[in-house]
Amino acid sequence: MTVLAFLVAIVALVAVHELGHFSVARWCGVKVLRFSVGFGPRLWGWTSRTSGTEFVVGLLPLGGYVKMLDEREAPVAAHERAMAFNTQPLRSKAAIVLAGPVANLMLAVALYSCVNWTGIEMAQAIVGKPPQDSVLAAAGFGGGEQIQRAGFEGDALEDVASFEDFRWWLARGAIAHRNLQVEFTSPQKQNRLTAMLPLSSVDASSADAKLFQKIGVSAPFSQARLGGILPTGAAAQAHLQAGDLVLRVDETDIVDSTQLYELIRASGSQGEPRQQTWLITRDGARTTVVVSPKLEQDKGKPIGRIGAMVAAPPAMATVRYGWIDGLTRALGRTWETSALTLRVMGQMVIGEASLSNVSGPITIADYAGKSAAMGLTQFLVFLALMSVSLGVLNLLPLPILDGGHLMYYLWESLSGKPVSQLWTERLQKLGLVVLLMMMSVAVVNDVTRLLR
């Protein structure tokens, strides 16, 4: 599943990117010699009888290219000179180069729109019990609050459709150092309440799970209700049953499954776990049981386990929008994701964000497999996010990328003359070195995540 999903994602994103270059090149009258998805030895291909373009699928799917007629690469016949890339006006060359990243951004809009129109099952925006030293805990959240609306300080509030929608607000606020105002309902009170979350003070150097842990929204709220029970585990020995709802462990009231999960694991952190007294409800009646978690090792750390699922599925809702609203939200999500990606990249350059934010093919493949396992809709959301990332990455002003070529054309438009061949070669080598360094960091991060 993981390998297949990764290949489908990479091939689709690369094909769309190169199709952007190809389409605009043909529209500008440039002859395309080869359209390739993938590098290396040719696996499959055919040649168009009308245009003469060779369409190829290469062995290595991690990229692709569009090879155009160009006097700088090979001699061009006099009757075909008008179709060579290098003879085109500056605006045409810039349009051809820009078309690849734009095609990826357009694909993201299309995918987000499809998801918005067809609908997606998502967890409701109900927060679990936050860690004691988190932003939500400091703001008075105890778990079970449902977020209704949110907005940055000074802006109007907007409806929050799902838990992921709320996390998106939090991520943008933390990275942009903007406080977030939220409107919510509490299990203890009927009326709506408001709170200001001071995200401007959060260390957002790494936009990962640790960031959400600091904020206090690692997972949506789910009841501490037992599921499947292993016959040889501590839960079975305590005569616990699937469907039991845990209300208290010793003197600690249990709010949600995450809290119970952490209490069970922490019971083994100091060695052999001690017995715990649990207050549960079963078929409407309360009863007390004694549970003795078993000591186990998790990546070299001692933890306690009871041999049972301790989480009920979170409350779900179908999020669906109309044609206009769905398209508008897709455009907004693509723009916001692009801006957020650029902001994080800029922060990494100046040292405000960690290089651990860079992910490579192993992490991408892992997320591709996980999203595909969750269903087609989640896989489309993943594809949209990767398409935005690919589009933004190619717009970076590195000579070997599309953005670097656009910088050449900008220089040519300002100076009236193209970048010399000598400087082009030097800058290409510099761009290649920078790109290889980025790839090295990404691979190291991937391996590090695997070893954790």
pLDDT at 63: 86
* Domain end among 305, 335, 352: 305
Pairing state between β 146-152 and 158-159:
antiparallel
Report which of 392, 390, 413 is spatially closest to residue 94, judged by C-alpha positions: 413
Check: CB of residue 115 under 8 Å from CB of residue 333: no
Does any domain span residue 100?
yes
Residues 159, 185, single domain; the answer is: yes
Q: Which residues are catalytic?
A: 18
Does any domain span residue 66?
no
pLDDT at 208: 64
Residue 48, Cα to own-chain centre: how many angstroms?
38
Using pLDDT thresholds of 50, 70 and 90, give the confidence band for residue 206. low
Residues 442, 358, single domain; the answer is: yes
Structure tokens belonging to residue 24: 């605009």
Using pLDDT thresholds of 50, 70 and 90, give the confidence band for residue 324. very high
The total number of structural domains that make up the chain: 3
Q: Which residue has the tokens 């100076």?
A: 415
Higher pLDDT, 360 or 38: 38
d(CA 130, CA 314): 16
Does any domain span residue 174?
yes
Does any domain span residue 17?
no
d(CA 339, CA 341): 5
What DSSP string describes 266-285?
Answer: HTTTTSSPPPEEEEEEETTE
d(CA 38, CA 13): 11
Q: Report in angstroms the alpha-carbon separations of 272 from 230, 269, 295, 387.
A: 20, 8, 6, 49
Q: Tell me phi and psi for residue 407, to 5 degrees.
A: -65, -40
Does any domain span residue 226?
no
pLDDT in tens, 15-64: 999 999 999 999 999 999 999 998 888 888 999 888 889 999 998 887 89
Residues 370, 433, single domain; the answer is: yes
d(CA 344, CA 340): 6
Residues 196, 263, single domain; the answer is: no
d(CA 258, CA 253): 13
Q: Which domain holds residue 389?
A: 89-118+323-452
pLDDT at 168 over 70: yes
pLDDT at 204 over 90: no
Residues 170, 247, single domain; the answer is: no
Q: Tell me phi and psi for residue 150, to 5 degrees.
A: -150, 155
CATH of residue 192's domain is 2.30.42.10
Does any domain span residue 421?
yes
Percent share of the chain, pLDDT over 90: 55
d(CA 103, CA 391): 8
pLDDT at 203: 79
Residues 163, 216, single domain; the answer is: yes
Using pLDDT thresholds of 50, 70 and 90, give the confidence band for residue 390. very high
Mean pLDDT, range 191-209, rounded to an integer: 83
Does any domain span residue 6?
no
Does any domain span residue 391?
yes
pLDDT in tens, 281-320: 998 899 999 999 999 888 778 899 999 999 888 999 899 9
Residues 330, 429, single domain; the answer is: yes
3-state SS, residue 252: strand
Using pLDDT thresholds of 50, 70 and 90, give the confidence band for residue 3. confident
pLDDT at 191: 84
Instruction: Report, in angstroms and rounded to the nearest whole number, the Rg of the chain calculated over CA atoms.
Output: 27
Residues 242, 358, single domain; the answer is: no
Residues 328, 452, single domain; the answer is: yes
Residues 332, 346, single domain; the answer is: yes
